[in-house]
């Protein structure tokens, strides 16, 4: 089933700028790890949805990965958020 499009979804041009900023997936390193279950653009879109709408994590629409998955990736970034707000391009 195709996921519904949201305004928070990154465009191809935005994704081309964001992708190099993300760490290499653990499964692609020499240490190894589990393959990622969700595509990275979906996780970024969920971040942007929460940042743009100020909704609660548990109120993420069903189109996105589970809130626990998104929060697990967001956790380290969330600690930084208390010191400074999300950048404007992330909130869109």
Digit-coded pLDDT (tens) for 28-52: 888 878 888 888 888 888 888 888 8
Half-sphere exposure of 44 (CA within 13 A, CB side): 19
**pLDDT at residue 77 is higher than 60:** no
The domain tally of the chain equals 1
84: left (phi over 0), alpha (psi -120 to 50) or beta: beta
Residue 2 falls inside a structural domain? no
Q: Which domain holds residue 87?
A: 7-13+39-92
Lowest mean pLDDT across 14-28, 31-45, 46-60, 74-88: 74-88
Residue 62 falls inside a structural domain? yes
- Give pLDDT, residue 76: 55
* pTM confidence score: 0.70
Residue 26 falls inside a structural domain? no
| Local structure of 6: helix, strand or coil | coil
Residue 30 falls inside a structural domain? no
């Amino acid at each position: 089933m195709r996921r519904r499009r949201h305004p928070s979804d990154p465009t191809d041009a935005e994704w081309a700028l964001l992708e190099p900023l993300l760490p290499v997936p653990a499964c692609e390193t020499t240490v190894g790890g589990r393959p990622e279950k969700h595509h990275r653009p979906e996780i970024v879109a969920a971040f942007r949805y929460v940042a743009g709408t100020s909704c609660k994590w548990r109120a993420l629409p069903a189109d996105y990965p589970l809130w626990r998955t998104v929060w697990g990736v967001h956790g380290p970034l969330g600690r930084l958020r208390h010191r400074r707000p999300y950048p404007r391009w992330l909130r869109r």
